[in-house]
Chain A
Amino acid sequence: MSPERQTIVALVIVALAAAWLGWRWLAKRKNPGCGGECGCDAQRINAKIKRR
C-alpha cells in the first residue's frame, strides 16, 4: 500500500476510534452505572453463583 493510501486509512481508523470513545463517554454520562467494566461483571457473576 502506498504511503498516501496508508495515511488515509490510518486517519479514518483514528477518526472512528475517537468517535467511538466520544460516544462511549456520552453514553456513560447518561447512564453512569457500573457499565460492566472494572469488576462489575465479577460482582454479577458472584451473585449468580453465590452459594449462600
Chain B
Amino acid sequence: MALPPHIAAAPVGPAASRLPVYALVGNPNCGKTTLFNALTGLKQKVGNYPGVTVEKKEGTTYSQHGQPITVIDLPGTYSLAARSPDEAVTRDVLLGRRADTPMPDRILCIVDATNLERNLYLVHQILDLGRPVIVVLNMMDLAVKAGLNLRIGRLEHELGVPVIPCEAVNQKGLIELRVAMSRLEIPLSRHAWDVPAKIAPAVAELQASLSSNDQKPPLIARAEALLLLTDRDSVRVSGSTPLHARTEDILRTWKKRWEGEGTDWAETLVKSRFAAIQRITNEVVQRAGETGPTKSDQIDAIVTHHVWGWFILGAILTVLFLSIFVLAEPPMNWIDDQFAAASDWIKAHMTDGDLRDLITDGAIAGVGGVVKFLPQILILFFFVGLLESTGYMARAAFLMDGLMGRVGLNGKSFIPLLSSYACAIPGIMATRTIESKRDRIVTILVAPLMSCSARLPVYLLMIAALLPAERVSLGAKAGIMIGMYALGTVAAFAFAWLFKRTLLKGEPPPMMMELPAYQRPSLKWVATHMLERAWSFLRQAGTVILGISIVLWFLSAYPKAPEGANASQQLAQSLAGKAGHALEPVIKPIGFDWQIGIGLISSFAAREVFVSTMGIVFNAESSDKEDTKPLREAMLAARWPDGRPLFTPLVCLTLMIFYVFAMQCASTLAVVKQETGGWKWPLFQTVYLTGTAWIVCFIVYQAGRALGF
C-alpha cells in the first residue's frame, strides 16, 4: 500500500536524553486500567491534572532489558471529539495542548477484541497523529468465546503498526507487549483513508494555520484539523492551550460556508472514517457461523422487560432489606452486649470521676452506638457487590434510564446517583464523566438525596430500636426502610425535574450504554468490596467518631453544675445543652427537643454521629451510674418537660425524613465546592436541602399530630 501524502516523516523515537513515555488510551471498559495495573504493579503515582478535577495516573514499567518506562493512564474515551472533561484531557495530552503534561513519545492503544469496529474509531484518529503506536488487542479470550477469529497479521498489515494480542486480566501477552515497548523504533502507521475532495482545502488551510500559528508538527496539525472540522461541541478544560485567533477564524469561516451550502461535511468526514474502518474489520474479523441470541440476551429479555424488569428489581430490593433485618439482629445484639459489658466492667473497676465518665459515657457510648451497625453495613454491601459482580447493576441502570430521561436527567447520571447510595462523595466525583456542565451540576445537587450508608444507623436506630416490636412486623420494618430509600430517590428525581426547568435548563443528550454479559459472581471481588466498606466504616468510627464523641462528652459535662444537681440538670446547663436549647425554637415545630438538637448539630460532621451523640446525651442523662442501659431504653424513657414521651413513632418517622433530606455532611460540602469550583452551589445545596427537610418534617409532624398520632 502506498504511503498517503501526509505520512512522510521518519520514524519518531523518544529523545535520546530521557526515558520513553507511553500513554495508554482506549474506550471505556476495554481493560485499560487492568493493563495499566498489570504493567506498573504498585509503582503508581495518582494526582490531578492542574486546574481540572481529572485524575492523573502515572506508573513505571520496565523494558525487557530492565530499563524503566513511564506509562500515563489517560481517561477512557470513544473518540478524540471530547464530550466531557475527562475526554478533553485525553485529547489535549495527545494533541500536545497541555503545558503541564508533555506529549507522550509513544501511544498504547488498548482495543476490546470483542468489539473491534467500535474501538477502531479512536485508534484510527490516533494513527492520524503520526506518532509511534502499539495496538493491544485485549480480551482475546472473550473474543474466542464469542466465536470471533481475529487475523492479527492482517490487522498489523492494514494499520501498519505492531498489534499485540493480550488478556490483561490473566496476565497473558504482557511479555510480548513489554518486548514491543522496548523496541528502539516503532514504525509509523501506513493506514490511509479517503478524505472527501471537497473537504481537502479546508483541512489544508487549517493544517497550515495550526502549523504556523499554533506551532504544531505537520501530522499533528493535520489530525487536529480533521478533528476540529468534525468536533461539533468542543469541550475546553483548564490547562488546555487555546487555539490561535487566526485558526479559530478559519474554522468559523469554513463551518459557515458549509452551513450555507447545506451540506453536512462534518458528517461526511465521520462516515468516510467509518467506511475505512468497516473495510479493515471485514478483512480482519471472521465469525464462526451465524450466532443467535446469547444467554445474556435471553436473560435480558426478562430482566430488562418493561413490566417484569420492575417486578424483579422490586423483589431483589425486598430480599436485600429483609436480610438486613433478619440476619443482622443476632450479631448486632452481641456487639451491643460487648460494649455494655466493657462499660460496666470499667464502672466496676474505676473510681467515680471524669476519666471514667469520658471512657464510658463518651468513647464507649459514642463508638459502640455506631459500631453495632457493622453487620447491617456488611450485609448491604455483600448484596450490592453480588449485584455488581453478576452484571445486574447495569440492567438496573437500563431500567432507570427511561425514568431519568423523563425528569430531564442525563443517562450518565445513573452511576453517580447509584454510587451515592454508598456515599455521596464518590458519587459526586463520578459526575466528571457527564459532558454537559448543567447536567453535571443538577446531578451533584441531587446526589445527597440518595440515602447513603451513613444514614443507615440513623434509620435503623429509629426503626429497629424505637418502633415497638409487638406492633411492627419485620415486613413493615423493611417496608419503612425501603420507603426512606424510595423517598430520597423520588425527591432526587423531582428536584432534578425542577432544576432542569428553572435554574439549569437544557436538553439531556441520549444515553449510550453497554450491558456487560452476565457472569458468575466473583466471591473474591464481593468479599473485597464488602470488607473495604467495613474497614472504611470502622476507621470512621475509630477516628472521627471517637474524636467527636470525646469532644461531645466534654461539651455535655462542662461547665459543671452546682453540687447536688442531677444528670439531667447537668446536661441542660452544659455547653452542648445550651447549643441544643438555642436550636430548640427552630426544631420544636417539627417535634424535636433540645437533646435531639444536640444530635442534629453534631451530625453535621457525619450523619452517623447522630447515633453516637444520642448515646452520649442519654447515657449522660441516665441516673443509673453503675449499669449501662441499652440506648433504645434510655431514649424511650426520655420525656418532654410536660411528661409526654419524646420519641413517639411520629417523631421517629419525622426524624428519619429529616435525615433523608437535610444536608448533614461537611465532607460532601467540601467535595461539592471542589467539583463546582466555588461556594455558590454548596451553599445553595445546603439551603434547599435543609429547608426542604424542615418543611416536609413540619407538614408530616403537624399533620400526624392533627390526626392523633
Which residues on A are within 8 Å of B, measured CB to CB?
1-3, 5-7, 9-11, 13-14, 17-18, 20-21, 24, 28-29, 32-35, 37-43, 45-52
The minimal Cβ–Cβ distance linking B27 to chain A, given in whole angstroms, is: 12
A16-B522 Cα distance, complex, nearest whole Å: 44
| Option from A13, A17, A48 in Cβ contact (under 8 Å) with B37 | A48
| Option from B351, B528, B535, B673 in Cβ contact (under 8 Å) with A3 | B351
- Evaluate whether A45 and B532 lie within 8 angstroms (CB atoms) in the complex, with A38-B667, A51-B522 already known: yes
Nearest B residue to A16, CB-CB: B550
A interface majority secondary structure: helix
The minimal Cβ–Cβ distance linking B533 to chain A, given in whole angstroms, is: 6
A46-B525 Cα distance, complex, nearest whole Å: 8
Contact A40–B551 (Cβ < 8 Å) = no
Contact A6–B533 (Cβ < 8 Å) = no
Contact A10–B358 (Cβ < 8 Å) = yes
Q: Does B333 contact A (CB under 8 A)?
A: no
Q: Does B296 contact A (CB under 8 A)?
A: no
Nearest A residue to B167, CB-CB: A52
The minimal Cβ–Cβ distance linking A39 to chain B, given in whole angstroms, is: 4
Nearest B residue to A20, CB-CB: B547
The proximity string for B residues 349-368 relative to A, scoring 1 for CB distances below 8 Å and 0 otherwise, is: 01111111110000000000
A35-B587 Cα distance, complex, nearest whole Å: 33
Contact A38–B354 (Cβ < 8 Å) = no
Nearest A residue to B673, CB-CB: A32
| CB-based A-B contact count at 8 angstroms | 127
- Evaluate whether A42 and B533 lie within 8 angstroms (CB atoms) in the complex, with A34-B425, A34-B429 already known: yes
The minimal Cβ–Cβ distance linking A41 to chain B, given in whole angstroms, is: 6
Contact B528–A45 (Cβ < 8 Å) = yes
Contact B351–A39 (Cβ < 8 Å) = no
Stretch at the interface among B3-11, B28-36, B284-292, B496-504: B28-36
The minimal Cβ–Cβ distance linking A20 to chain B, given in whole angstroms, is: 6
Contact B33–A50 (Cβ < 8 Å) = yes
Residues of B within 8 A of A45 (CB): 528-529, 532
A51-B390 Cα distance, complex, nearest whole Å: 12
Contact B34–A42 (Cβ < 8 Å) = no
A24-B554 Cα distance, complex, nearest whole Å: 19
Contact A37–B670 (Cβ < 8 Å) = no
Closest 8 CB pairs of A and B: A6-B353, A6-B355, A38-B423, A10-B354, A17-B550, A39-B423, A3-B353, A32-B670
- Evaluate whether A40 and B425 lie within 8 angstroms (CB atoms) in the complex, with A32-B671, A45-B528, A52-B31 already known: yes
- Evaluate whether A1 and B29 lie within 8 angstroms (CB atoms) in the complex, with A14-B551, A32-B673 already known: no
A47-B525 Cα distance, complex, nearest whole Å: 11
A13-B546 Cα distance, complex, nearest whole Å: 11
Q: Does B598 contact A (CB under 8 A)?
A: no
Contact B356–A52 (Cβ < 8 Å) = no
Q: Does B536 contact A (CB under 8 A)?
A: yes
Contact A17–B551 (Cβ < 8 Å) = yes
A43-B522 Cα distance, complex, nearest whole Å: 17
| Option from B31, B516, B532 in Cβ contact (under 8 Å) with A41 | B532
The minimal Cβ–Cβ distance linking B668 to chain A, given in whole angstroms, is: 8
Contact A40–B426 (Cβ < 8 Å) = yes
Contact B353–A21 (Cβ < 8 Å) = no
The proximity string for B residues 506-543 relative to A, scoring 1 for CB distances below 8 Å and 0 otherwise, is: 00000000001000001011001100110110011000
A52-B454 Cα distance, complex, nearest whole Å: 30
- Name 7 interchain pairs, CB-CB below 8 A, sorted by A: A6-B356, A10-B353, A18-B551, A21-B544, A40-B429, A45-B529, A49-B528
Nearest A residue to B422, CB-CB: A39
A2-B354 Cα distance, complex, nearest whole Å: 10
Most A CB contacts (10 A, CB to CB) among B29, B353, B533, B544 go to B353
Contact A37–B551 (Cβ < 8 Å) = no
A12-B446 Cα distance, complex, nearest whole Å: 42
Contact B674–A33 (Cβ < 8 Å) = yes
| Option from B353, B525, B529 in Cβ contact (under 8 Å) with A7 | B353
Contact A51–B525 (Cβ < 8 Å) = yes
Q: Does B548 contact A (CB under 8 A)?
A: yes
A49-B339 Cα distance, complex, nearest whole Å: 35
The size bracket of the interface on B is 35 or more
Contact B358–A13 (Cβ < 8 Å) = yes
Residues of A within 8 A of B422 (CB): 39, 42
Most A CB contacts (10 A, CB to CB) among B355, B419, B673 go to B355
Residues of A within 8 A of B355 (CB): 1, 5-7, 9-10, 13
| Option from B29, B356, B425, B429 in Cβ contact (under 8 Å) with A37 | B425
Contact A7–B354 (Cβ < 8 Å) = yes
The proximity string for B residues 25-50 relative to A, scoring 1 for CB distances below 8 Å and 0 otherwise, is: 00001110110010000000000100
Contact A52–B29 (Cβ < 8 Å) = yes
| Option from A7, A33, A51 in Cβ contact (under 8 Å) with B169 | A51
Q: Does B95 contact A (CB under 8 A)?
A: no
| Option from A11, A21, A52 in Cβ contact (under 8 Å) with B139 | A52
Residues of A within 8 A of B37 (CB): 47-48
Residues of A within 8 A of B673 (CB): 32
The minimal Cβ–Cβ distance linking B383 to chain A, given in whole angstroms, is: 15
A28-B352 Cα distance, complex, nearest whole Å: 38
Contact A37–B540 (Cβ < 8 Å) = yes
Most B CB contacts (10 A, CB to CB) among A28, A41, A42, A43 go to A42
- Evaluate whether A41 and B535 lie within 8 angstroms (CB atoms) in the complex, with A1-B350, A14-B554, A48-B37 already known: yes
Contact A39–B547 (Cβ < 8 Å) = no
A52-B111 Cα distance, complex, nearest whole Å: 12
Contact A1–B31 (Cβ < 8 Å) = no
18 further contact pairs, Cβ within 8 A, besides A14-B550, A34-B429, A39-B423: A1-B351, A1-B355, A6-B353, A7-B353, A14-B554, A17-B547, A20-B547, A21-B544, A33-B674, A34-B426, A37-B667, A40-B423, A40-B426, A47-B37, A50-B33, A51-B34, A51-B525, A52-B31
Residues of B within 8 A of A50 (CB): 33-34
The proximity string for B residues 536-580 relative to A, scoring 1 for CB distances below 8 Å and 0 otherwise, is: 100110001011101101100000000000000000000000000
Contact A39–B550 (Cβ < 8 Å) = no
Residues of B within 8 A of A35 (CB): 667
Residues of B within 8 A of A6 (CB): 351, 353-356
